[in-house]
Structure 1
Amino acid sequence: MKKTIAIVTGTRAEYGLLKPLIKAIHEADNFNLQLLVTGMHLSEKYGNTINEIEADGFPITSKIDSHLDGDSDIAISNAVADTIKGFAQVLNQLNPDLMMVLGDRSEIFAAATAATIKGVPIAHIHGGETTEGAYDEAFRHGITKMSHWHFTSTEVYKNRVIQLGEQPQRVFNVGAIGLDSIAKLQLLSKTEFESAINFKLNKRNVLITFHPVTLEHNTSQTQFAALLSALDQLEEVTLIFTKPNSDKDGAIIRSQIDVYVADHAHKAIAFDSLGQKRYLSALQFMDVVVGKSSSGIIEVPLFKIPTINIGDRQKGRLMPKSIINCLPKETDIKNALNKAFTTEFLESITDLKSDYGTGTATNQIMAILNSEPWPQIKKSFFDLN
């Protein structure tokens, strides 16, 4: 008898990571896929990225509106409440055998909460990681405690999930699932990429993805202004901005991007979402990636280019030697950019190997789904000796 697996997706980036797994489960003879779409995918403000899912041909089982109408504390809390209510109704109707979630965002926490109360076992991808500057840290570990299967991206994170009391036989280090697409996707050539974004690259090219540090108060505007000042001193450069997610204070950064791009249209362009293919294709032609994105730490190093990681949002993650950490101040960011462009630093990362696996996470997860006993809803706490 076929088992039914519900997969939840709420953002453009997370969908790109999950796409190989969604495809594998959709095409498997022994599984039924339920694709549950929520969060930013359903918001015009964030690019209506549900269109990308539909264009890929995956059948969407249900749309759960998070009612994202702002980025204040109260607006996000209300969105979490609405998402829990929506998932409670949908899971009651669909009653899947397993729900799969990735990461640490508030809408994923909401989905996991509804599944826990409903009694639907959860498989969690990318648990055990730390992001000390964001409230995602608490959501991620909360999802871990609600989950029954765990697919981590490194051995360190596997051990941390076990440290949280999860049974070792239910925790698997499969590597970062985002690396799967890099190995398989046919990336665009430089000419094709320039055509796809309707913009010309320059002698130097910088990709910027800057998210707020959600455990700080009122720092986004000042920090992003410092970054813009540092970037503005670069010559013969193209700046490609991808706008932040629906995090607290994200609207402030989005507004700053819009103003900057309008004033510097000759060298800067911005996107709500590049989409997976354009984003990964862009990395082939970038000289540096700048901001506060997990992708800069996990996926970007495979392209042997530097990442400048600003501030504390990603603090605590395992970081390859291609990462240059700096304070969110103009002088520090400028110094980091100068270091990233040096021949010495570039030569030091030519032999870089990933800490996050080899791009086989989907195959490993599918093998586990097909071979391991499926988890029961009740679980016992694992105590370390």
Structure 2
Amino acid sequence: MKKKICFVTGTRAEYGLLFHLMKEIKNSDTFQLQLVVTGMHLSPEFGLTYKQIINDGFEIDQKIEMLLSADTSTAITKSMGIGFLGFAETFERLKPDLLIVLGDRYEILSAVASALIFNIPICHIHGGELTYGAYDDAIRHAITKMSNLHFTATDEYRNRVIQMGENPNFVFDVGGLGVDSILKLSILPKEVLEKDLDFTFGKKNLLITYHPETLSSESPSTLFKELLDALSCLEDTNFIFTLPNSDTGGREIISLIESFVSANKNAKSYTSLGQIRYFSCIRYVDAVIGNSSSGLLEVPSFKKGTINIGNRQSGRMKAASVIDTKANKQSILEGIKYLYSKEFQSILATVENPYGKGNTTENILMVLKNISWDSLKNKKFYDLKVTNL
């Protein structure tokens, strides 16, 4: 009998990373794919991206509505509560043999905590990473502690998961799924992308993807205005904005983006580019600016620069193509100036992505096919041997 593997996805970015693994599970003779869709996928405000999942040939086993029409701390906490109710009913019906989740979103925390109570083994992808500027950091580590099987993006992250008390026999360094996706996807020709986006690339082009710093003492709008003020100083530059996730304060940023785009003909915004269009944009722009994990995990594979603003991604491993700046206008402008310098452009030619060189999907499948599933349920804390100094 096929083992039932259930995936939960709540955002467009997360789905893009899981796409190829889900496809392999769907076509497997060993496993049966179950798919639960929630969060932003079901929101008209964020593009109803569940439709893309269906268009990609996947059957959705359950939709869980949990996203409220607000992004305050109260609303997000209530959303998690609604998620618990939905996942309780879903796991009771689907009875999966394994739950696979990725990352650090609050939607995923609701899913994992529910699966824990149902005694469903949990597989966590991209654990062991650090992002000091967002509460996602704590969520990620909480998911790690509730999980039974771990696939990390680097050996350093694997060691960190083991440091948290996870058995090394169930922690595997497989590389980043983003790098894997880049190698498996066909980039759109520039003219096709321009027509699809109704956007014309100019002399200089920047892709902006920015999310709230949820642990900052300053409001998301205050920090983001510094970036917009910096962009307003640039000449002969076109801007592509992707809208932020449904984090606390995300709607403040969306409103500012909409105002900026309406006032600047050289700027356009998109609710959801999808993975192929997003990666194609990276190929044709000069750099990615903002604080998205993509700027660190995937952009280096294109040998393009990333201007990483503020503290949201503090703690993550970074390639030499990443330029860190403070969240103020002057620092961002200095970063952009360095981006276009001959010195930095020469660095890009030899950049290597610390998150691997692909084959991540294949590595995960090999483990899933060979591991003892019964052993996943007997989780114990793994104590490191500490030498007294």
Tell me whether the two structures share a fold, i.e. TM-score over 0.5: yes
1:101 correspondence with 2:101? yes
Residue 40 of structure 2 contacts residue 67 of structure 2 at CA under 8 Å; is this kept in 1? no
For 1:249, the equivalent position in structure 2 comes to 249
Task: Classify the secondary structure of the residue corresponding to 1:71.
Answer: coil
- Other structure's SS at 2:317 match: coil
The alpha-carbon deviation at position 272 of structure 1 amounts to: 0.8
Measured against aligned partners, the alpha-carbon deviations of 1:260-316 in whole angstroms (never above 9, x if no partner) come to 00111x200001110011000111111011001000001000111110000000000
Residues 112-152 of structure 1, C-alpha deviations (whole Å, 9 max, x = no match): 00000011000000000000010001110000001000000
Instruction: Report deviation, 1:212.
Output: 0.4
Aligned counterparts of 1:291 and 1:376: Cα–Cα separation in 2: 38
Choose 175-184 or 158-167, whichever is displaced more.
175-184
Matched, 1:56 2:56: yes
Give the match for residue 277 of structure 1: 276
CA contact (8 A) 1:40 1:68 kept: no
- In the other structure, the counterpart of 1:148 is 148
Query: What displacement does 1:85 show?
Result: 1.1
| Residue 314 of structure 2 corresponds to residue 315 of structure 1 | yes
Aligned partners of 1:365 and 1:184: how far apart in 2? 16
Do the aligned partners of 2:211 and 2:292 also contact (CA within 8 Å) in 1?
yes
Q: Secondary structure at the match of 2:377?
A: coil
C-alpha distance in 2 between matches for 1:138 and 1:378: 24
Residue of structure 2 in register with 1:123 after alignment: 123
Letter in 2 for 1:176: G
Counterpart CA distance in 2 for 1:189 and 1:342 is 27
- In 1, distance between residues paired with 2:262 and 2:127? 39
Match for 2:290: what amino acid?
Answer: G
Contact 1:180 1:361 in 2 (8 A): yes
Using the alignment, how far apart are the partners of 2:380 and 2:92 within structure 1?
25
Contact 1:99–1:120, Cα closer than 8 Å, also in 2: yes
Give the whole-Å Cα distance in 2 for the aligned partners of 1:217 and 1:66.
27
Match of 2:361 in 1: 362
Same amino acid, percent of matched pairs: 47
Cα deviation for residue 356 of structure 1 reads: 0.5
Q: Are 1:131 and 1:315, in contact at CA under 8 Å, matched by a contact in 2?
A: yes
Alignment of 1:214-363 (within 5 A): 214-264=214-264, 266-363=265-362
The question of whether the paired residues in 1 share the 8 Å contact of 2:209 and 2:243 is answered with yes
Q: Summarize deviations over 1:81-104 as a string: whole Å, max 9, x none.
A: 111110011001110000000000
Code of the residue aligned with 2:234 in structure 1: it is L
Greater CA drift, 17-26 or 223-232: 223-232
- What residue is the counterpart of 2:201 in the other structure? 201
User: Secondary structure, in 3 states, of the residue corresponding to 1:101?
Assistant: strand
1:66 shift after superposition: 1.0
Q: What is the rounded CA distance, in whole Å, between the counterparts of 1:104 and 1:316 in structure 2? A: 15
**Deviation at residue 360 of structure 1 after TM alignment:** 0.9
Structure 2 partner of 1:85 = 85
Q: Contact 2:308/2:322 (CA < 8 Å) preserved in 1?
A: yes
Q: Does 1:383 align with 2:383?
A: yes
Partner of 1:37, secondary structure, is: strand
Q: How does 1:122-201 map to 2 (within 5 A)?
A: 122-201=122-201
Amino acid at match of 2:8: V
> Which whole-Å deviations, capped at 9, do the CAs of 1:149-181 have from their partners, x for residues lacking one?
000000000000000000000000000011111
Q: Deviations over 1:38-76 (max 9, x none)?
A: 110001111111111011011111111113221000000
Instruction: Specify every segment of 5 or more residues in structure 2 that has no aligned partner in the other structure, as ranges.
Output: none
Which digits, 9 at most, give the CA deviation of each residue in 1:160-203, with x for residues without a partner? 00000000000000000111111111110110110110111100
How far residue 376 of structure 1 moved from its aligned partner, in angstroms, is 3.2
Kept after mapping to 2: 8 A contact 1:43/1:68? no
Shift of 1:377: 2.2
Distance of 1:7 and 1:124 partners within structure 2: 11
Q: Which contiguous aligned blocks of 4+ residues in structure 1 show a shift greater than 2 angstroms? A: 375-378
In structure 1, C-alpha distance between the alignment counterparts of 2:37 and 2:219, rounded to whole Å: 31
Q: CA deviation at 1:378?
A: 3.0
Local SS of the residue matching 1:307? strand
Q: Indicate the residue corresponding to 2:40 in structure 1.
A: 40
TM-score (normalizing by structure 1) = 0.99
- Segments of 5+ residues of structure 1 without an aligned counterpart are none
Query: Aligned equivalents of 1:19 and 1:178: distance in 2?
Result: 10
Looking at structure 2, the residues matched to 128 and 115 of structure 1 have their Cα atoms a distance apart, in angstroms, of 20
Q: TM-score, normalised by structure 2?
A: 0.98
SS in 1 for 2:301: helix
Amino acid in structure 2 at the alignment position of 1:305: K
Cα distance between partner residues in 1 of 2:170 and 2:193? 42
* Secondary structure at the counterpart of residue 284 of structure 1: helix
Q: Give the aligned length.
A: 384
Contact in 1 for aligned 2:131/2:314 (Cα 8 Å): yes
SS at match of 1:90: helix
